Amino acid sequence: MLDHTFPLCNYSTLFWIHHLQGSEFHLQRAYKEERPEASHAAWSELLAALNQFLAQKNALMAWIEASYVFKTPPQSIALQGWSDWAKQRMNSNVPGEEETRKIYADSLCLASQLERIQVEWGAQLMKSPCIIWDEVTDFTSSRLLKANNVQVDSLSVDTLTSAETSSQYLSKISEATPDGRHVGVLSIWPSKSVKVLNGHL
pLDDT in tens, 119-165: 989 999 999 999 999 888 877 888 899 877 666 565 555 555 566 66
Q: Half-sphere exposure (CA, 13 Å, Cβ side) for 94?
A: 25
SS3 148: coil
The predicted pLDDT at position 25 comes to 73
Q: Say which amino acid occupies 96.
A: G
User: Measured between alpha carbons, how far is 176 from 129 in angstroms, rounded to an integer?
Assistant: 15
User: With the CA atoms of 76, 2, 134 and 167 taken in that order, what torsion angle do they form, in degrees rounded to the nearest 10?
Assistant: -40
Across 6-20, 155-169, 175-189, least confident range: 155-169
Say if CB 116 and CB 105 are below 8 A apart: no
Say if CB 130 and CB 65 are below 8 A apart: yes
Q: Is 66 a residue whose pLDDT tops 50?
A: yes
Q: Is 199 a residue whose pLDDT tops 70?
A: no
**Higher model confidence: residue 106 or residue 32?**
106
Neighbours of 83 (CB within 10 A): 22
The predicted pLDDT at position 73 comes to 95
DSSP string, 89-127: HTGGGSS-HHHHHHHHHHHHHHHHHHHHHHHHHHHHHHH
The predicted pLDDT at position 163 comes to 63
Band of the pLDDT at 117, cuts 50, 70, 90?
very high
The pairing of beta strand 171-176 with beta strand 183-188 = antiparallel
User: Measured between alpha carbons, how far is 158 from 149 in angstroms, rounded to an integer?
Assistant: 20
Write the pLDDT tens digit of every residue in 31-50: 666 666 666 777 888 889 99
Band of the pLDDT at 201, cuts 50, 70, 90?
very low
**Higher model confidence: residue 190 or residue 74?**
74
- Long-range interactions of 164-172: CB distance < 8 A, separation 24+: 164/191, 164/192, 164/193, 165/189, 165/190, 165/191, 165/192, 166/190, 166/191, 166/192, 166/194, 166/195, 168/119, 168/195, 169/120, 170/194, 172/120, 172/121, 172/123, 172/124
The predicted pLDDT at position 168 comes to 66
Q: Domain segments of the chain: what residues?
A: 2-129
